[in-house]
Amino acid sequence: MNHDNTKDDLDNMMNQSIKFNDYDCKYYDIDEIGPLTAGGMIEHSAIHLNIQSLPGKFDALKNMLHLLENNNTYIDYILLCETFLTKNNAHCMS
């Protein structure tokens, strides 16, 4: 194993991750997102939700996604954390 190459690879990854910090990320209300995504003003869109129990909030998430769809809002990535999914309840989300 060449440690110099590994260090170079890690340095390159760090430099790339630092570039991500240069993006101008803003928070928007649901009704503000539609014109941006439909009009092509942004290249990619993402929603990040700390859902704190997907099984308990699955219907609310579906309602929000329907609201976005009705507003002609197109989201490329939906990121969920703290889903509290386990092997015993994951089947409920399909």
pLDDT score, position 33: 78
Maximum distance among all Cα pairs of the chain, rounded to whole angstroms? 54
Q: Higher model confidence: residue 36 or residue 78?
A: 78
Q: pTM for this structure?
A: 0.64
Once rounded to an integer, what is the mean pLDDT over residues 54-61? 91
- Position 83 confidence tier, pLDDT thresholds 50, 70, 90: very high
Could you give phi then psi for residue 50, rounded to 5 degrees?
A: -85, 90
- Position 9 confidence tier, pLDDT thresholds 50, 70, 90: low
With a cut of 60, say whether residue 90 has pLDDT above it: yes
pLDDT score, position 60: 92
Q: Which residues contact 91 (CB under 8 A, 6 or more apart)?
A: none
Strand (E) positions, the chain? 46-50, 77-81
Question: What is the rounded distance in angstroms from the CA atom of residue 62 to the CA atom of residue 65?
Answer: 5
